[in-house]
């Protein structure tokens, strides 16, 4: 076994990018109940936080590529009292806003990343919605 050479601590989950060139790591923020999303190369280089700065918590999507799109972008939800569903380029950090609402979570996107599957609402009253990626539509919007 070769240890991953990185200073990243308190890692909760890790997933490979479909192309194998990045790892996405979700870590617990120190002394807070927030999460951060980081990317790092498999050799431990290029460690960078891509979501969850300051008082914001970040979640990684759960779809077929465990938080990744087919073309290698991250599926991220950031929350700070309001939620933002984002596609994030791991190399540049460029963000593409898919949707924003009070309580939403980005679950997955279609193969071509043009349509997104979102979960809306609090735990006791959740529902699913499908939106065109980039439209920023709210609940009930369709493709």
Give the pTM.
0.86
- Residue 3 forms part of a structural domain: no
- Residue 137 forms part of a structural domain: no
- Residue 45 forms part of a structural domain: yes
**What local confidence, expressed as pLDDT, does residue 5 receive?**
60
List CB contacts of 80: < 8 A, sequence separation 6 or more.
55, 56, 57
- Residue 141 forms part of a structural domain: no
Bigger pLDDT: 123 vs 86: 86
Q: Chain-centre distance of CA 93, in angstroms?
A: 12
94 lies in which domain range?
A: 11-132
- Residue 69 forms part of a structural domain: yes
Bigger pLDDT: 137 vs 101: 101
- Residue 18 forms part of a structural domain: yes
Quote the number of domains for the chain: 1
Q: What is the pLDDT of residues 36-81, one digit of tens each?
A: 999 999 998 999 999 999 889 999 999 889 999 999 999 999 999 8
């Amino acid at each position: 076994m070769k240890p991953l050479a990185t200073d990243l601590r308190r890692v909760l989950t890790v997933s490979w990018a479909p192309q194998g060139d990045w790892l996405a790591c979700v870590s617990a923020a120190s002394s807070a109940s927030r999460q951060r999303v980081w990317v790092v190369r498999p050799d431990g280089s290029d460690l960078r936080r891509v979501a969850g700065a300051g008082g914001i918590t970040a979640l990684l999507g759960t779809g077929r590529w465990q938080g990744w799109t087919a073309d290698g972008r991250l599926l991220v939800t950031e929350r700070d009292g309001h939620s933002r569903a984002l596609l994030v380029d791991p190399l540049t950090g460029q963000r593409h806003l898919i949707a924003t609402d009070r309580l939403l979570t980005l679950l997955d996107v279609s193969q071509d990343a043009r349509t997104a599957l979102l979960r809306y609402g609090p735990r006791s009253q959740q529902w699913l919605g499908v939106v065109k990626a980039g439209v920023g539509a709210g609940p009930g919007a369709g493709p």
